[in-house]
A and B are shown apart, each in its own frame.
Chain A
Amino acid sequence: MLVKPDGFFGVTMAIEGVKDSAVLMHGPEGCRKNLWALTMKVFPRRDASVNMRTPYYMGSPRIPCTDLESCDYIYGAYDRVFDALQHVKERDPGLVAVVCSPGASLIGDDCQKAVDECGLSDKALILDADLSSKPINVGIDLTLRRAVEKLAPPVEKKREGTAVLLGNHVLQKDWESVNEEMSRILGLMGIEVICCLGAGSTVEEIRRSSEAEFAVVICPEYAIETAELYREYGAVTVVPDLSPIGFEATDAWIRLVSEKTGRGCDAALGYVDGIRRRAYRRMLAARFDTDAFKFCIDAEPSICYPLARFFYDNLQMVPACLRYDGVSYPPAENLMKEFLGRIGRGEALDGDVPDYVEILCTDGNTADMYMRSRHCLRGVDLRFPSMMNTEFLPQPLFGAVGALYILERVVNRF
């Protein structure tokens, strides 16, 4: 996939990641259709009160749409926003977001007025398309920050030993298992996760998230602004340079959490070690030859670097092409530059994907396409999950179990 989801998708999917939210797409149905399919794929929800005839929902319980037509761009479509909001309101969601498509943003309909007149001011956000074509992580991060500002005012009294988990999102590979894995690790450090922001938590959980003593980030690109907000709220924030991907980076992440929160990390490190030993035993039995395999990774810098190191250090694989697709995170980017220079592979950064590469780590559909067209031996689905495949077994990308997922994808041939 040459074109990746952008900030506009990020804005919408950030809200869709809140369990009892509702996004009203102000725009043509074409803008909504793919988002609807995506959200039903990654976070399916049923709503028996929505049927094929419910106005603006058009047969789907998620992402109702004002369904703009050409004349609406000329005459404006305020009435449609107002009317659609009435239908959204009937379902009593905890959070409403009116997301204007890039085209609708040019009309300038007064969505705030519609929200106010519908009596939704206390739970509605108006989200413009100004993040269109910006990186998706910016859209997710800024939108979740706005949601928290709206729903969860700061509280003075913190609940000891609790955390809000940041930097996971519903377009992440098996995000539910990521929540479970990282909550398990934090639990072993005596930290209880009370909210997984943007990754399945409810509005009520978000409301209570300002009581969290800690704000712990998994993938920093998606949570710089939100982490900063929780810091302003008085939470101890843990923002890593690298995401916990692969055993080594997971160990480092645990140590960082321990250092910032003052919680012991022996049990968590022991858990990772147990899984590492399991991986070792499986590797003894595996029929594989990854030495001198070339790999390409298309991912955020904080994922790309530790994953490259995981392959390089543990499987003797060599980077052929590493891309961030417009996402920037200097701490990880600097580490990557230093690493590639040291091993004499500087040209891999931002290089073209070769015609054939053994291992390709990227979004789900592209991984599938490359494998099916025999342009790679194994594709590893990192995010924007494959529309064709469904994870039945837990397959988190992060943490100790995440390392197993990566090994399973890389080592096995079928």
Chain B
Amino acid sequence: MLQIAIYGKGGIGKSTTSSNLSYALAGKGLKVLQVGCDPKHDSTKYLISGKDQTTVLDYIRSTAPSERKLEDIMVTGSGGVMCVEAGGPEPGIGCAGRGILTTFDTIEKMGIADIEKDVVLYDVLGDVVCGGFAVPMRNEYADAVYIVTSGEFMAIYAANNILRGLLNFGTSRPRVAGLILNRRNVDNERELVERFAKGVGLPIVADIPRSKEYIEAERLGKTVSEAFPDSVPASIYRLLADDVDSIRAGSRPLYIPHPLSDDQLNDLAAGKEIAVLGDFTRVSCGCNRIRRGTGSCASRGAVFAAGRVNDLPIIIHGPASCGYVMSHTQDVHFLTEMGTNPNTVGILRNNISSTRMSNDSSIFGGHEDLMRIIRSEAGKGKRTMMVITTCVPGMIGDNLDLIKKRAEGEFPGLNLVVVKADGNLTGGSEEGRLMAMKAIISFIDENLKPTEMECNLIDDNFIVYSSGRNGEWTERLMGMLGFSKVHKIIDNVFLDEVVGCKKNILNVRTFDDPTVNGMADVMAEEKGMRIFEDPLPKGYSETLAWVEKVGKEYGLVERAAEASETIKREYAAALERHRPFLEGKTADIIAGILGDDDWIIEVLLDAGVRIKNLFVLRMRMGGGRGPGPAFKSRYADKLNVREMSNPMEVKAAVEEDAPDMVVGGVMIGWHGQQFKEFSRDYQCFTHYASIEYLDYMHTMMTSAPTMGWRSWGGADDGGAAVGPAVQKPMRITQAQIGAIKSRMGGIVPPRMEAALNAMKEGRTPEGVPPEMIGMIKTMTGGS
């Protein structure tokens, strides 16, 4: 069987050529299948007497997979040619390319391969060269490709584009059969196409003149080959059929495409001689930098932010998987907060829904999916709702402005807020969060005056703030200054609280962070809110300074002075209690993902801990693109700061240091290394964080040296079968074994005992998990 594809610019005569060629091939006694791959689905029209037929894409929308039958979409036309039409969406909506992909997949599942046939002919719209329309070019489909062109420059341009597309599918075997000149009677038509053919190294296999017989044949609902078999065009199609037969027989060559460059095309159009042929270089986006993960997409960021308004319905416009990921993420964050913060009140939001866009929606557009959900929410009485788009509607071009207009017309009083996050087409999570935040901030009533002794905290996610006891401590500090309530803008709030938040006097950012700052700027510029200059303070000395500044700026000097005295007294008492246990201990610090560890350094130094090294992991700013911000610390000139970009490098350096404690070691702890990791740096706000950290360090220093559970697993536990690391056997001495046993209080698990003996003999221990090897390495200082 031979599969051929007929490509060419829209309107150039591909369908006419294809159907006449199919008819001519059938006339040679061949069994022919013609598949029309154009949304306007008229490829086979004149093979089936001008009638419409059910397209594949219409059929799969209305028929369950179990009920699908090939005969429902395949019509036998003139000469016995089997006719299939892919179909597609209306112009301007959906994604026709996706439709072609789906058509090929569907007819394959329906058993098209089992139909007896000699030639399959794909008639493909060729000036649209997205991946979908390129499917017939793939190696598993077209054995030979004909390109229909005229002497019009745009037709030649499209032909050249098609050759470029073919080049992207490899040059391992020649597949281009040649050009078919379908004349439009432009000046010097043959000469121009011949020059192009010469330039790209292809033959012109047919030269079809214009003829009035086409119009008459169409009127009769037939191909010209059927209606006027003695006409000139009909005889040319028969010759073309002979050409196809030669390809079937392997008696004529096919060609590797040599598309022209843009400059060469310009030369051709200008009538100049085409410059020397060079290899066409594939176009790429130019993004050659190393990627290391965007983190989440903008849609997820937007949903994350907006989902924190408890009574705001959020409609995720996209596939159900996106809806699941985003609502699941919300649930996990809420549950995490509840799990780490005993003061969190559980609120059941259930405010996220999905339009559940299917493959069909990707082809035909998702307008109706979205309207269905809007109607459902409006039916529940909701009059404010937010739509957040994912990448699929972004790519297929769903018109959200139109839908908003339509929905607000259908439901008077409806405020449909649209956030066009479009998956990662507009950026990562941070961009999405900011987009949603701006939309939510627009709800704030700018006419209110700040009159209440209450505080608005500004953050785009409140993940850190809501962890551990940060919230409790912040409220306690605010209470010292006379602020009776803390509102989280925006987290765990109701729309009314957002609308009325301008009446609260103090507005404070939780972090000095681009996204939070972006939010604060919008609140200041668009709503006229006064934002306090400094973010929430971390640790002891920052809190003292912050309290004093608030006192001065808001006329609370006396209260601030009292608060300062309390803070100093509480911190001094904590130091007195814990310093005796910490003094003289050594520490390495790995700068945390928040990039601000000064408050911890202060606690360590105040407690008499000696800091050996401060490692700055340059890839630590997860989520963003590009390098993290430059490292800043008020202790930078007092400590030994070492910047590194590879966590494994840091791990090795820490092993060499062998400190008593590793602060922020969780980044390298992931790699199975055993350290006493002091990771609880997320509880950072106010001086209470410093007090808590002293207690935490004291407690940790009295805990067991390692997490013993890490040695419980066997080598094959958890599927280490995929690519186990090749490790050199490590040799240790009897003295080292003695030291390990002593460090473990004389109790060594049997498997470790066996491992130690094997290492002593220079053998690779069998059945020992990597964690245990890591533990032994740490305790011996070995490598």
Binding site for B on A (CB under 8 A): 1-6, 8-9, 19-22, 28-31, 33-34, 43-53, 55, 58-59, 61, 65, 67-76, 78-79, 90-94, 102-103, 105-110, 112-113, 128-134, 202, 365-366, 368-370, 372-375, 386-388
Contact of B134 among A5, A44, A73, A108 (CB under 8 A): A108
B572 within 8 A of A: no
Contact of B718 among A44, A132, A375 (CB under 8 A): A44
Q: Are B722 and A30 in contact (CB under 8 A)?
A: no
Question: Given the interface contacts A33-B295, A105-B98, A365-B332, does A2 sit within 8 Å of B353 by beta carbon?
Answer: yes
Cα A262 to Cα B720 with chains together (Å): 39
Contact of A70 among B101, B284, B425 (CB under 8 A): B425
Residues of B within 8 A of A76 (CB): 131, 168
Q: Which of B390-398, B463-471, B577-585 contacts A (4 or more CB under 8 A)?
A: B390-398
Q: Are B423 and A30 in contact (CB under 8 A)?
A: yes
Cα A34 to Cα B619 with chains together (Å): 21
* 19 extra A-B contacts, CB within 8 A, seeds A106-B131, A108-B134, A132-B321: A3-B354, A8-B320, A21-B722, A28-B424, A29-B296, A48-B725, A49-B724, A67-B291, A70-B424, A70-B426, A72-B285, A75-B285, A76-B168, A92-B722, A108-B132, A113-B139, A374-B346, A387-B332, A388-B339
Q: Are A102 and B321 in contact (CB under 8 A)?
A: yes
Question: Given the interface contacts A51-B671, A132-B321, A369-B348, does A67 sit within 8 Å of B132 by beta carbon?
Answer: no
Residues of A within 8 A of B647 (CB): 51-52
Cα A72 to Cα B131 with chains together (Å): 12
Q: Are B132 and A106 in contact (CB under 8 A)?
A: yes
Residues of A within 8 A of B297 (CB): 28-31
Q: How many residues of B contact A (CB 8 A)?
A: 94
Residues of A within 8 A of B744 (CB): none
Residues of A within 8 A of B321 (CB): 5-6, 8-9, 31, 102, 132-133
Which of B759-783 touch A at CB < 8 Å? 770
CB-based nearest B residue for A135? B320
B7 within 8 A of A: no
* CB proximity of B49 to chain A, nearest CB, Å: 34
Cα A226 to Cα B20 with chains together (Å): 45
Cα A370 to Cα B331 with chains together (Å): 11
Q: Which of B362, B426, B770 has most A Cβ within 10 Å?
A: B362
B255 within 8 A of A: no
Residues of A within 8 A of B648 (CB): 51-53
Q: Are A133 and B356 in contact (CB under 8 A)?
A: yes
Q: Are A132 and B97 in contact (CB under 8 A)?
A: no
* CB proximity of A352 to chain B, nearest CB, Å: 10
Q: Are A73 and B320 in contact (CB under 8 A)?
A: no
Contact of B101 among A4, A52, A128 (CB under 8 A): A128
Question: Given the interface contacts A34-B328, A108-B132, does A73 sit within 8 Å of B722 by beta carbon?
Answer: no
* CB proximity of A62 to chain B, nearest CB, Å: 9
B 330-358 to A, binary, CB cutoff 8 A, 1 in contact else 0: 01101110110000001110101110111
Residues of B within 8 A of A91 (CB): 722-723
Question: Given the interface contacts A45-B722, A106-B97, does A69 sit within 8 Å of B320 by beta carbon?
Answer: no
CB-based nearest B residue for A132? B319
B324 within 8 A of A: yes
* CB proximity of A18 to chain B, nearest CB, Å: 9
Q: Are A106 and B395 in contact (CB under 8 A)?
A: yes
Q: Are A2 and B671 in contact (CB under 8 A)?
A: no
11 pairs of residues in contact across A and B, judged by CB atoms under 8 Å: A2-B350, A58-B292, A69-B287, A76-B168, A91-B722, A102-B390, A106-B396, A113-B138, A132-B357, A133-B357, A369-B346
Residues of A within 8 A of B576 (CB): none
Cα A94 to Cα B724 with chains together (Å): 13
Q: Are B770 and A28 in contact (CB under 8 A)?
A: no
Q: Are B95 and A106 in contact (CB under 8 A)?
A: yes
CB-based nearest A residue for B670? A59
B 288-320 to A, binary, CB cutoff 8 A, 1 in contact else 0: 001111111101100000000000000010111
* CB proximity of B718 to chain A, nearest CB, Å: 5
A-B Cβ contacts below 8 A, count = 256
Question: Given the interface contacts A75-B285, A108-B135, A109-B131, does A53 sit within 8 Å of B646 by beta carbon?
Answer: yes
B322 within 8 A of A: yes
B411 within 8 A of A: no
Question: Given the interface contacts A67-B291, A133-B358, does A102 sit within 8 Å of B322 by beta carbon?
Answer: yes
B 653-667 to A, binary, CB cutoff 8 A, 1 in contact else 0: 000000000000000
Residues of A within 8 A of B456 (CB): none
Q: Are A29 and B335 in contact (CB under 8 A)?
A: no
Cα A372 to Cα B296 with chains together (Å): 27
Cα A69 to Cα B339 with chains together (Å): 35
CB-based nearest B residue for A384? B328
Cα A128 to Cα B319 with chains together (Å): 13
Q: Are B672 and A46 in contact (CB under 8 A)?
A: yes
CB-based nearest A residue for B301? A30
Residues of B within 8 A of A130 (CB): 102, 105, 359
B545 within 8 A of A: no
Q: Are A366 and B331 in contact (CB under 8 A)?
A: yes
B631 within 8 A of A: no
Q: Are A6 and B285 in contact (CB under 8 A)?
A: no
* CB proximity of A213 to chain B, nearest CB, Å: 27
* CB proximity of B432 to chain A, nearest CB, Å: 9
Q: Are A103 and B392 in contact (CB under 8 A)?
A: yes
Which of B353-396 touch A at CB < 8 Å? 353-354, 356-359, 361-362, 390-392, 395-396
B573 within 8 A of A: no
Nearest first, the 3 A-B pairs at minimum CB distance are A108-B131, A91-B723, A48-B725
Q: Which of A28, A49, A202, A365 has most B Cβ within 10 Å?
A: A28
Question: Given the interface contacts A8-B321, A52-B647, A71-B285, does A110 sit within 8 Å of B335 by beta carbon?
Answer: no
CB-based nearest B residue for A107? B131
B 422-439 to A, binary, CB cutoff 8 A, 1 in contact else 0: 011110010000000000
B719 within 8 A of A: yes
CB-based nearest B residue for A10? B321
Which of B242-299 touch A at CB < 8 Å? 283-287, 290-297, 299
Residues of B within 8 A of A106 (CB): 95, 97-98, 131-132, 362, 392, 395-396
* CB proximity of A104 to chain B, nearest CB, Å: 9
B 66-98 to A, binary, CB cutoff 8 A, 1 in contact else 0: 000000000000000000000000000001011
Q: Are B723 and A102 in contact (CB under 8 A)?
A: no
B415 within 8 A of A: no
Contact of A67 among B135, B294, B726 (CB under 8 A): B294
Residues of A within 8 A of B326 (CB): 3
Residues of A within 8 A of B718 (CB): 43-46
CB-based nearest B residue for A45? B719
B220 within 8 A of A: no
Residues of B within 8 A of A55 (CB): 290
Cα A6 to Cα B358 with chains together (Å): 10
Residues of A within 8 A of B670 (CB): 59
Contact of A129 among B285, B347, B359, B646 (CB under 8 A): B359
Residues of B within 8 A of A94 (CB): 721
Residues of A within 8 A of B353 (CB): 2-3
Q: Are A28 and B284 in contact (CB under 8 A)?
A: no
Residues of A within 8 A of B101 (CB): 105, 108, 128
Cα A29 to Cα B354 with chains together (Å): 20
CB-based nearest B residue for A110? B138
B 730-766 to A, binary, CB cutoff 8 A, 1 in contact else 0: 0000000000000000000000000000000000000
Residues of A within 8 A of B150 (CB): none
Which of B689-742 touch A at CB < 8 Å? 718-727
B130 within 8 A of A: yes
Residues of A within 8 A of B285 (CB): 71-72, 74-75
Residues of B within 8 A of A369 (CB): 331, 334-335, 346, 348
B170 within 8 A of A: yes
Cα A128 to Cα B101 with chains together (Å): 10
Contact of B719 among A20, A79, A131 (CB under 8 A): A20
Cα A102 to Cα B95 with chains together (Å): 12
Cα A350 to Cα B16 with chains together (Å): 53
B8 within 8 A of A: no
